[in-house]
Amino acid sequence: MLKVGILGGGQLGRMLLQAAANYPVETFVMENDPSCPAAHLCHHFTVGDIRNFDDVYRFGKGLDALTIEIESVNEDALEKLEQEGVKVYPRPSALRTIKNKILQKEFYKQSQIPTAEFIITNNLEDLHKQEAFLPAVHKIGMGGYDGRGVQVIRSKNDLGKGFDAPGVLEKMVSIHQEIAQIVAINEKGATALYPPVEMIFDPDLNLLDYQISPAGLPDRILWKIEAIALAVVKGLNSPGIFAVELFVDKQGEVLVNETAPRVHNSGHHTIEANYSSQFDMLLRIMLNYPLGNTEHILPASIVNLLGAEGYSGTAHYEGLEEVLQMDNVFVHIYGKKETKPGRKMGHITIVSKDKQDLTYKAHRIKNILKVRS
């Protein structure tokens, strides 16, 4: 039986292990918190720091394949493991390009992949010289995550809000739609694309409101998205699962925002809504099986269940019974003991032939279901 390891034990690892339960595979997880969401679903759990060379190297040695849950892993250790014959998804070289937003943007530019125009800034002093480039968005090179590490700089009065660290200043895009395109690619270079997902943001809170898949797109835009996402993945030269996040601007241009080299929040609906989920697909790739079928069985939407503002401590779920009474609704609670404002505690998938039903239920669930302490 092949031995597969996951670096990080959060919800992505948990859902990957749920899919792994169907295959002949022995699973290993490393994470510093022994009560993390994935800990009790794997065959072997190791306490360790995914950013530490020795911890990652020791964990990976002797495994057949390794994957990641989060980009902030020690890629030097992954590189050494790769040299010693462990298959790493994504390849450490692709991870290195993506992990640093400066290298990521330069990769798009060199590969002629459309992306918002940008300037590299080394510090705040540098940023202050770029008044003529505004309005723009400043992004920290390393360590940004879930919106931290991104700052909108509309005018020169906002320049002080930028990062005093190496980063990129990107032209502000007039966004019409935000799309995520998940692509699977195996060792032989064969690819499969999932139907694109539209991410709908709450204009007041600037938070992801819900997602809907397949996104409502004219064919011309869909083809651009598919071609661009394929170019990104081919250019990264690595097997695995990739989530390419794109903007469709008000002129109908398609620009790459960023890429995640792993299973992604925008693909959770594929568990119920598509023949092969993103988790099933990654296992097929790691275990050297044929790629699965990415087609959707039914359209779907996802609502993320975030810790409510003002509540920290042991998580308590309000409204679950009412949500579970609804048809075609699937609840995923990640099993995190402690809630914090904005923490990802679970998600709800809704499937339906009827798009109105998807948005209606998404809004209703957002109102009913709360995570408090």
| Residue 144 vs 342, nearer CB to ligand ADP | 144
Minimum gap (Å) between residue 118 Cβ and ligand ADP:
8
Residues 132-191 that bind ligand ADP (CB under 6 A): 137, 139, 144-147, 149-150, 170, 172-173, 175, 178
Q: What is the DSSP string of 35-78?
A: TSTTGGGSSEEEE--TT-HHHHHHHHTT-SEEEESSS-S-HHHH
Among residues 73 and 81, whose Cβ is nearest to ligand ADP? 73
Read off the tokens for 74: 């020690």
Residues 97-136 that bind ligand ADP (CB under 6 A): 116
- Closer to ligand ADP at the Cβ: 19 or 199? 199
- Least distance between ligand ADP and beta carbon 60 (Å): 26
Report the candidate in 45, 4, 8, 34 with the shortest Cα–Cα distance to residue 21.
4
CB of 249 to ligand ADP, least distance (A): 9
Q: Which residues contact 112 (CB under 8 A, 6 or more apart)?
A: none
Give 39 or 98: the residue with its C-beta nearer to ligand ADP.
98
- Judge if the upstream peptide bond of residue 90 is cis by omega within 30 degrees of 0: yes
Q: Whats the size of the chain, residue-wise?
A: 373
Nearer to ligand ADP by C-beta: 38 or 173? Answer: 173
Shortest spacing between CB 283 and ligand ADP, in angstroms: 26
* Nearest residue to 271 via CA among 207, 194, 344: 194
Distances (CA, A) of 39 to 28, 75, 124, 279, 336: 9, 22, 41, 17, 11
Q: Which is nearer to ligand ADP, 81 or 260 (CB)?
A: 260
Taking residues 218 to 257 in sequence order and writing x for each that binds ligand ADP by CB under 6 A, - otherwise, the string is: ---------------------------x-----------x
CB closest to ligand ADP, residue no: 173
Cis peptide bond N-terminal to 34, omega within 30: no
Cα–Cα dist 13/9, whole Å: 5
- Judged by the rule CB under 6 A, the positions of this chain that interact with ligand ADP are 116, 137, 139, 144-147, 149-150, 170, 172-173, 175, 178, 245, 257-258
